[in-house]
Amino acid sequence: MGILKGKKGLVLGLANDKSIAWGVAQACQREGAELGLNYLGEPLEKRVRPLAEKVGATLVESLDVSDDAQIDAFFAKVQEKWGSLDFLVHSIAFANKDALRNPFSQTTREDFRLALDISAYSFIACAQRAAPLMTAGGSIVTMTYLGAERAVPGYNVMGVAKAALEASTRYLAQDLGQHGIRVNAISAGPIRTLAASAVGDFRKLMEKSARGSMLGRNVSQDEVGNTTAYLLSDMSSGVSGEVHYVDAGFHVGAGDPGLEG
Ligand code: NAP
List, for residues 1-33, the tens digit of each pLDDT value: 799 999 999 999 999 999 999 999 999 999 999
Alpha-carbon gap, residue 65 to 260, rounded angstroms = 35
Mean pLDDT of the chain: 94
Candidate from 11, 18, 19, 228 with most ligand 1 atoms within 8 A of CB, to mutate: 19
Average pLDDT in the 66-86 region? 98
pLDDT of 253 reads 43
Whether 181 and 137 have beta carbons less than 8 Å apart is answered as: yes
The minimum-distance atom of ligand 1 relative to the CA of 145 is: 43
Q: What is the CA radius of gyration of the chain?
A: 17
Instruction: State whether the beta carbon of 152 lies less than 6 angstroms from ligand 1.
Output: no
Question: What pLDDT is recorded for position 255?
Answer: 42
Largest CA distance in the chain: 54
pTM recorded for the entire structure: 0.96
- In this prediction, residue 251 carries a pLDDT of 63
Say yes or no: CB of residue 258 within 6 Å of ligand 1: no
- pLDDT of residue 174 exceeding 60, the answer is yes
CA angle 88, 1, 75 (to 5 degrees): 20
Percent of the chain residues topping a pLDDT of 90: 87
Q: Which of 53, 49, 3 is nearest to 28 (CA)?
A: 3
> Which residue, by CA, sits nearest to atom 23 of ligand 1?
195
Q: What is the pLDDT of residues 186-238, one digit of tens each?
A: 999 999 999 998 887 888 889 989 998 999 999 999 999 999 999 999 999 99
